[in-house]
Each structure stands twice: as structure tokens, then as C-alpha cells.
Amino acid sequence: MHERYGSKTIFELHKPGCQSVRWPACDVPCNEIAELIPEEYLRHEVPSLPEVAEPDLVRHLSILAARNMCVDSHFYPLGSCTMKYNPKRHERWAQLVEFTHLHPYQPEESIQGLLALLYSLQQMLSEIAGLDAVSLHPAAGAQGELTALLMAAAYFRSRGEARRHVLVPDVAHGTNPASAKMAGFEVVQIRSSPAGIADPEILAEHLGPSTAVLMITNPNTLGLFEKEIVRLCQMVHQAGGLVYLDGANMNAICGIAQPGKFGIDMMHFNTHKTFSTPHGSGGPGAGPVAVTAKLAPFLPVPVVVYEDGRYRLDYDRPLSIGRVRSFLGNVGVLIRAYCYLRTVGAAGLKQVAELAVLNANYLLHKVGKLLPVPYGQRCMHEFVASAAKVKAERSISAMDIAKRLLDYGFHAPTVYFPLVVREALMIEPTETENKETLDAFSAAIEAILREPAELLHEAPHHMPVSRPDEVRAAREPILVWRE
Ligand SMILES: *Cc1c(COP(=O)(O)O)cnc(C)c1O
């Protein structure tokens, strides 16, 4: 394609007078705009928008879109984020006009089909969790955490207990302590054992009358199963606290182990990760929470219920923490999760987990020969390799490897998380990748590690931008046209 597209900004393609649409002259009576809109809301200058012809616009945007790395174009082993392939037929179903043309204020009688779907999704999630009740409202995993912690706070208030501390392992995702703080608790970090999992003896040092909640991720962010989970739950319960499961890693165990059976009291799902929905660049998502019967009265309103042959939105829940999200949650994402679960079925869901774990272990076996994996000979759905040794010996960092992988046509893994691994590369292949892709990825790492450090320090070499200041690029993006 001619280099005019893509290599220039849309503002540089601007040609005064160029238009994509030409309107015919108006043949009905017109009002002056000033008669219709108050003066204070009117523009007095023409906005400086680029003027381009429609084919130029389409080519420009298509070329830029093709430069973006996404699950549909590239292997995307971004640990913790579960960037699995998203079935296209679920997109079609979520876009049925029977869903998209609904209005959030329509009466319940006229949205029985949607309510049936949401009710059924609540039931399925409740079964996968092994817990009694579900709210579909939270718009993301992090909001699910906040919702559950607000429920925990309401639960302790209802019992007249002042419990302040939320215990969070040192390998937890950053949203865990942030949610605890936002819900008004104090965060206490608990260190992991040398094996990279939570240790009952270390937990015991922190338990007491002010313990509110233990937030734990299982499998954890090192890709390790928390083997002591049953004992940990018993200990927290004995101290009068609750256990919260961060369910972001459910793809490793769904259909195999029900977290409710570990003894947890509440959890969230990241439906956009585990049950698919394209969720790059921070959205969209859904973070339903599942809880035990004793916490159910505190769920956000409304809850979808089924009574006397019809579905109803139940607002009459006096202990509810109230609303956490407008209307019924991110319904488009929930529809995709429903479609995913109905497509794979119970047996398929178990196979999803088995293949996610098999793929991760296959890749661990190959990558582990190239870079040390400090925790675990075996992993669940992901593993964390370390570039600390190549950094010390050859000054090649995790960032250098991640950036150079882009040149080889792979999205970078998650880097520098979890914090307990130095120069961390957190790799999650997901179950939707085949052996050839996994082999090619490990071959790329092998090739990169043979390259000169100077070349790697300036990678990527074949991308439109090489090493932007990532913090500034995110916080101060340049979105205006400066002539
Ligand atoms: C992704 C993730 C979260 C946060 O979920 P969002 O849906 O992005 O808000 C929390 N914990 C873990 C372990 C995660 O991977």
C-alpha cells in the first residue's frame, strides 16, 4: 500500500474541502441553530477536524488497525490476562438486535428472554464456583473485588464487629490491595513461602480479632496451586474472618475444582478472561461475584430471580450494599460469557482447563531450558520465567526480550509482575494455541537470547514506534493536531 497511508497521521492527510459525505441541499424549512441551542453551547469556530475522502479514511484506519497486535492476528501470551481466542459466533449472538435494541428502562415483562439468559448465567456461575448466589453487576474483576469487600464490610457491620485488616499475599495482583483500601480496610501483606505459595504458619502470625478478609488467588499469579487452601480457609474462619478468592485464574481449574469446596466465602470471575470477550486495552469486561448463602443478603440490587413462571428484578433486599453499576451490568459481555459456557458445556469447560494447563506446562518445559523459572517444576495455566541471570551476565533485561519478541511477531508477555520474581516474564499461552505456535514462540526466545545485547536494547526494530516513554504515552497522549 502506498506509504501515504499509515505512515502519516490523519491530520497530514487533511486536504481542505475534501469530504466523505456530500449532503443534498435542504428542501424543508430550516431554523437558525441559534434558535434551537442556547448561545453558551454554540461553537464560534469551526473545529479543526481533518478533511479526507472516504477511501483515504478507510485505508488509513485499516492499515493502522492491522498494525495493532491482537489475539486475532498474533500469539498473545500476556500472563494473568488470559488472552485466549474469542469465538466469532459469540460476537454475532451478542449483536442480535433482540439484545442490542433493548432499552434499559423497558418493563420486565418485555425483557423476559434477556432475564432468562442472565438468570441462567447466574446459575451456571454459581455451580462453577460451588457457591450459593451470584451478582452479575460488577463491570470488571477489580470492581468485583470492591463489591465483595463492601459486602464483607456490611456483613461485619451487621454483626457489630469492627474488623479492619485485609490480608493479601505478596504475589497478589495490584487490584487486590487497591480494592481493600477503597472499601475502607487496612491492607496487611503476607509473604509467600520459599515455594511461592501461602504458608499456614506465616498466615497464623497475622490472624487475630481484627482480621476481616484473606484475599487469595488460586492458582496464584506464579501459576501455582495453593495447596494449603483448605487449611488456610479453616484458619481464617476460626479467627472469625472471611476468605475471598480472586478468580482471574479460573481457566486453570474451572469444571474441575469448585472454589466453594476449598472453603472460600466469596469470589469474582473475570468473564472476559475465563469465558472469552475481546478485552485488550482495558475493556470491556464483567466481574460477577459469587458468595455463600450467609453473604447473599448483601448482594447488590437488583438480583434476577425466577418465581411463578416469570423472571423478575428483585430490589427488595434491605441488607443490600445497593448499586455498583447502572442497570444490569455489562450485558453484552455477560451474553458472550453465556454463549461461551453453553457452547463448551460442562465437559468442554473441564477440557478448557486441562488444555490451558497442558499448554502452559509444555511451554514451561521448553522456555525453562532457556530462562530459569524460579518457582515450580510444574505449573497450572501460566508460569513466570526470570531474566535476572541474563541481565547480570549480558545486561539483557526482561523488557529487552519482551520488546524484541514484537519484532518476531509475538505479543510480549507480562513483565515485572509478580514482584517476587526479579526480571519477571509471566507467560500464559491459554488453551486456544496449538503446538506449532508454542514451538515458534520458544524458538523466538532462543534466537533472541543469541542476539547481541546492543541490538536488544533498542528493540523493537520493525515496529512503527520503538521505545516510547510508556508512562507518559499513557498519561499524556498527544491527541490534538498541532500545526
Ligand atoms: C486481571 C486480573 C485482575 C483484575 O481484573 P480486571 O477485570 O482487569 O479488573 C485481578 N486479579 C488478577 C490475578 C488478574 O489477572
Closest to 403 measured CA to CA, from 412, 393, 395, 394: 412
Percent of the chain clearing pLDDT 70 (strictly above): 98
- Mean of pLDDT over the chain: 94
Pairing type for strands 289-291 and 310-314 reads unpaired
- Ligand 1 atom at minimal distance to the Cα of residue 172: 13
Whole-angstrom distance, CA of residue 188 vs CA of residue 166: 6
Which numeric CATH code is attached to 93-343? Answer: 3.40.640.10
Residue 17 is predicted with a pLDDT of 87
Model confidence at 23, in pLDDT bands (50, 70, 90)? Answer: confident
Residue 328's alpha-carbon distances to 16, 103, 300, 370, in angstroms, are: 45, 11, 10, 48
- Interval 466-478 mean pLDDT: 87
Cβ count near 46 (within 10 Å): 6
| Residue 212 contacts residue 156 (beta carbons within 8 Å) | yes
Residue 481 is predicted with a pLDDT of 59
Q: What is the pLDDT of residues 43-68, one digit of tens each?
A: 988 888 889 999 989 999 998 888 88
Does the predicted model carry a pTM greater than 0.75?
A: yes
Atom 8 of ligand 1, nearest CA residue: 141
Residue 67 is predicted with a pLDDT of 84
- The residues lining ligand 1, judged by C-beta closer than 6 Å to any ligand atom, are 80-81, 140-142, 173, 175, 217, 221, 246, 248, 270, 285, 287
Residue 5 is predicted with a pLDDT of 74
Whole-angstrom distance, CA of residue 143 vs CA of residue 342: 25
Whole-angstrom distance, CA of residue 333 vs CA of residue 336: 5
- Ligand 1 atom at minimal distance to the Cα of residue 80: 15
Model confidence at 2, in pLDDT bands (50, 70, 90)? Answer: low
Residue 280 is predicted with a pLDDT of 75
78 C-alpha to ligand 1 centroid (Å):
12
Structural domain boundaries in the chain: 1-67, 93-343, 346-472
Atom 11 of ligand 1, nearest CA residue: 173
- Choice from 81, 143, 175, 381 to test ligand 1 binding pocket (greatest atom count within 8 A of CB): 175
Choosing among 3.30.56.10, 3.90.1150.10, 3.40.190.10, 3.30.930.10, the CATH entry for 346-472 is: 3.90.1150.10
